[in-house]
């Protein structure tokens, strides 16, 4: 027998033995799914390679319900009730090795990034402080037109974050029995409370006195909170005095910074935008009050979330039990696909695949309490930006850009979408292409957009209209 044939036969035997071994040792073989998925991850590879796994995953969950085995140690989940457990903020489940592929190699050294890093302590150390630095600096800029300078210094210059965290811990506990505060933080003889915010009181007082004495507005000519408070003091001195104004400033920094630190649609309701008399470009305060625009944007992100693969996590020590009683052992990789979760009929109603912005609005005859409950459930289930501590950091910037872009586009231009099916490819992000759109500037459009051609036809990657 030829030596080459023997080697091929040996290799085939080893591979077959490995696949059989995978099947019998798999802790998930009792879970339904494609048979070959129990043998190796090759099934996952070919499914993703075709770029249609958002469709495949939905078909599998329609057939096998809430838990589907898609790999020897990988379970796809679709029960929205598990979102807060799998993507827990309090006790985060570690990301799987799938994210390691996103690492970079620089001069032979493997470098992790905020997206690929699996260590929750590393993530907390390197990203969360900068979010806080940004929000504290931003609130300081909005209040005094002067930044505290955390981002520039790349550190917590005055120990503000530690003071803030300890103060919140104290407040949460002691406010359950308010009398304790008199014996602790408010004790006139021996204060036993958390570190004080004396620095912020002093800083606010200095900024207030300097601005009030000079009688000038902020240096950049744009009114900040300090200008507004001084103006309010002059108009309502019986309500706002110097102490109250300075207290407002302190609360701006402390409360505003802490709370803050935590898809463009081509379909819009034209009459609502036309009747809104929006400025150019529209301001957020204008468009946030347009209920149908908000519904359209939410619906667009619901039916076409950006990510179309599992957001994988590793089941922690002790494993966990599914709502139906089935046990998932520790070490198992589990995850949810936004394209599956966002099509849950129980939460989002019938026809979850259809573009129906009305689902985000009160139905005819629906009481406000029932609507608010339904709206909150949909909002909490929507997995477009992920969930938990590793949710998309830029979600609010993305939403702000999308809302303003769509409002501007459809206020200033007429769009004609030919009867043409777009092409969609799922390779982590679900991308669209081949969508011709004819865009013509409205005759009455503001000259503020004169840099755009007066009349031009060209293609843009905009989703089709589904009405």
3-state helix, strand, coil in the chain (%, to 5): 50, 10, 40
Burial class of 128 by CB neighbour count within 10 A (0 to 12, 13 to 18, 19+): middle
Residues 6 or more apart from 326 whose CB is under 8 A from it?
30, 31, 67
Measured between alpha carbons, how far apart are the two ends of the chain, in Å? 68
**Contact, 305 vs 402, CB < 8 A?**
no
Binding residues, as ranges, are 392
Alpha carbon distance 74, 52 (integer Å)? 18
Q: Count other Cβ atoms within 10 Å, centred on residue 358.
A: 13
Alpha carbon distance 103, 105 (integer Å)? 7
At residue 157's C-alpha, the angle toward residues 151 and 161, to 5°, is 90
Alpha carbon distance 297, 402 (integer Å)? 8
**Contact, 389 vs 92, CB < 8 A?**
yes
Q: Count other Cβ atoms within 10 Å, centred on residue 257.
A: 25
Give which of 339, 325, 284, 267 is closest to 53, Cα–Cα. 339
User: What does the block give as tokens for 356?
Assistant: 């129906």
Binding residues for heme, as ranges, are 392
Q: Count other Cβ atoms within 10 Å, centred on residue 393.
A: 16
User: What does the block give as tokens for 65?
Assistant: 């319900």
**Contact, 425 vs 54, CB < 8 A?**
no
DSSP letter at 158 equals T
Within 66-149, where are the H helices? 83-86, 120-126, 128-144
User: What does the block give as tokens for 425?
Assistant: 């490819």
The DSSP bridge pattern shows strands 333-336 and 74-77 to be: parallel
Residues 6 or more apart from 179 whose CB is under 8 A from it?
none
């Amino acid at each position: 027998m030829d030596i080459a044939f023997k080697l091929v036969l040996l290799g085939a035997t080893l591979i077959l033995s490995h696949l059989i071994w995978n099947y019998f040792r798999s802790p998930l073989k009792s879970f339904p799914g494609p048979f070959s998925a129990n043998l190796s991850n090759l099934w996952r590879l070919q499914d993703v390679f075709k770029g249609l796994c958002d469709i495949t995953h939905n078909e599998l969950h329609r057939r096998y319900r809430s838990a589907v085995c898609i790999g020897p140690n990988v379970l796809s989940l679709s029960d929205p009730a598990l979102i807060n457990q799998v993507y827990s903020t309090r006790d985060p489940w570690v990301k799987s090795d799938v994210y390691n592929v996103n690492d970079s190699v620089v001069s032979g050294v493997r470098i992790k990034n905020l997206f690929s890093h699996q260590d929750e302590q590393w993530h907390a150390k390197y990203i969360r402080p900068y979010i806080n630095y940004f929000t504290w600096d931003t609130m300081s800029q909005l209040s005094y037109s002067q930044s505290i300078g955390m981002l520039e210094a790349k550190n917590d210059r005055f120990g503000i974050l530690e003071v803030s965290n300890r103060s919140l811990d104290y407040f949460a506990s002691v406010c359950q029995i308010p009398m304790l505060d008199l014996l602790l933080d408010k004790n006139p003889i021996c204060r036993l409370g958390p570190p004080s915010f004396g620095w912020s009181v002093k800083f606010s007082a200095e900024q207030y006195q300097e601005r009030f004495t000079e009688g000038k507005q902020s240096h950049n000519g744009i009114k900040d909170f300090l200008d507004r408070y001084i103006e309010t003091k002059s108009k309502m001195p019986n309500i706002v005095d110097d102490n109250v104004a300075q207290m407002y400033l302190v609360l701006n920094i402390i409360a505003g910074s802490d709370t803050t630190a935590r898809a463009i649609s081509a379909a819009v309701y034209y009459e609502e935008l036309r009747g809104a008399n929006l400025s150019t470009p529209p301001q957020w305060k204008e468009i946030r009050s347009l209920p149908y625009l908000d519904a359209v944007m939410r619906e667009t992100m619901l039916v076409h979330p950006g990510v179309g693969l599992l957001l994988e996590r590793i089941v922690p020590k002790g494993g966990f039990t599914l709502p139906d009683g089935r046990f998932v052992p520790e070490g198992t990789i589990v995850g949810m696909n936004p394209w599956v979760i966002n099509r849950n009929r129980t939460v989002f109603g019938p026809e979850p695949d259809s573009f129906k912005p009305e689902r985000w609005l009160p139905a005819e005859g629906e009481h406000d309490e029932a609507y608010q409950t339904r709206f909150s459930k949909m909002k909490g289930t929507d997995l477009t930006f992920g969930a938990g501590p590793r949710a998309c950091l830029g979600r609010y910037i993305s939403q702000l850009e999308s809302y303003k872009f769509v409002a501007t586009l459809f206020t200033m231009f007429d769009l004609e979408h030919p009867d043409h099916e777009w092409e969609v490819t799922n390779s982590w992000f679900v991308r669209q292409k081949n969508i011709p759109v004819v865009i013509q500037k409205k005759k009455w459009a503001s000259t503020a957009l004169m840099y755009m051609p007066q009349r031009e036809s060209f293609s843009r990657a905009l989703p089709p209209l589904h009405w």
